[in-house]
């Protein structure tokens, strides 16, 4: 790894972390294109620079997360399933899944079809709801109104993203929409849920790796961290504006195309 690589990977992380396209998957694939071997440091780098993106969430949402106890309780409850499962499967994930191009490409490809078919199903839901006299008023439209049992389910949905390429935000958002949570609300909740999730993932990785990085490696981490922070600020605002008028079909198509493109570049 060099400075240019750390800048590129930091930018990829910041742009993709909160989009339903998998930041971990993109980091793995871009590293492959750059010829960066998936060493223990590179795997740790790809986890730790996500803190930069998380810092962007705190910069934008710190008041809502830290001063709103009802919201914070729901975020903590949703975080617990991921924390428990992450501890249990940490070694398996880092040894066999992180850096595995086949797993990433398969998850991106299948996940693209899931997003598309889910949105097609969602398009029919308002008609079904109206036929049962269940309108928008029955849906949680604020973070404070998300029931605790739904927060647990959202945490379990997020846990699926331990598989690289699945996308943490996509798993959480799709789970929330399936539960009937308003689109803008579940997108914001996925942002907030990322804070303890990625902070814990980074802390666990630092402990497991014994923070045994060289001076140049610490420099690469800092560069990737700050680039990730700056690009994530832009990505969050752009994504929130996008969902006001669009669904996630375009992201589903993107996932399918990018999986095919990277497969041809890496394996053909």
pLDDT of residue 175: 95
pLDDT of residue 198: 85
Neighbours of 267 (CB within 10 A): 9
Work out how many domains the chain is built from and give that number: 1
pLDDT of residue 140: 62
pLDDT of residue 267: 76
pTM for the whole thing?
Answer: 0.85
Angle at the Cα of 174 (from 202 to 151), degrees rounded to 5?
65
Assess contact for 57 and 30: CB atoms under 8 A.
no
Q: How far is CA 146 from the centre of its chain?
A: 20
Residues with Cβ within 8 Å of residue 265, at least 6 apart in sequence: 33
pLDDT of residue 211: 66
Give the tokens for residue 32: 């492959």
pLDDT of residue 131: 41
pLDDT of residue 137: 40
* Nearest Cα to Cα of residue 177 among 112, 255, 124: 124
d(CA 111, CA 4): 30
Structural domain boundaries enclosing 22? 3-267
Q: Mean pLDDT, consecutive 10-residue segments, the chain of 268 residues?
A: 93 93 89 86 85 90 87 96 88 81 93 95 67 44 89 96 91 94 92 91 75 86 95 93 91 96 83
pLDDT of residue 51: 86
pLDDT of residue 127: 53
pLDDT of residue 152: 96
Residues with Cβ within 8 Å of residue 13, at least 6 apart in sequence: 23, 26, 27, 46, 49, 50, 52, 53, 224, 227, 228, 231, 232
């Amino acid at each position: 790894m060099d400075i240019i690589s750390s800048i590129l990977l930091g930018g990829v992380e910041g742009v993709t972390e909160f989009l339903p396209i998998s930041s971990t998957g993109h980091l793995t694939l871009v590293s492959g294109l750059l010829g960066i071997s998936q060493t223990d440091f590179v795997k740790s780098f790809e986890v730790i620079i996500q803190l930069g993106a998380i810092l962007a969430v705190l910069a934008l949402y710190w008041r809502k997360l830290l001063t709103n106890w009802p919201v914070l309780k729901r975020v903590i409850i949703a975080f617990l399933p991921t924390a428990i499962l992450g501890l249990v499967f940490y070694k398996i994930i880092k040894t066999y899944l992180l850096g595995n191009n086949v797993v990433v490409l398969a998850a991106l490809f299948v996940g693209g079809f899931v997003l598309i078919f889910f949105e097609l199903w969602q398009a029919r839901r308002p008609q079904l709801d109206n036929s049962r006299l269940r309108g928008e008023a029955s849906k949680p439209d604020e973070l404070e109104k998300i029931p605790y049992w739904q927060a647990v389910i959202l945490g379990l949905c997020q846990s699926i993203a331990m598989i690289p390429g699945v996308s943490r935000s996509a798993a959480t958002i799709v789970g929330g929409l399936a539960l009937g949570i308003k689109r803008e609300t579940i997108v914001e909740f996925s942002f907030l849920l990322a804070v303890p999730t990625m902070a814990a993932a980074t802390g666990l990785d630092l402990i497991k790796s014994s923070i045994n990085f060289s001076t140049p490696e610490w420099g690469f981490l800092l560069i990737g961290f700050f680039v990730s922070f700056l690009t994530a600020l832009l990505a969050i605002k752009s994504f929130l504006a996008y969902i006001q008028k669009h669904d996630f079909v375009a992201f589903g198509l993107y996932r399918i195309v990018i999986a095919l493109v990277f497969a041809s570049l890496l394996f053909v």
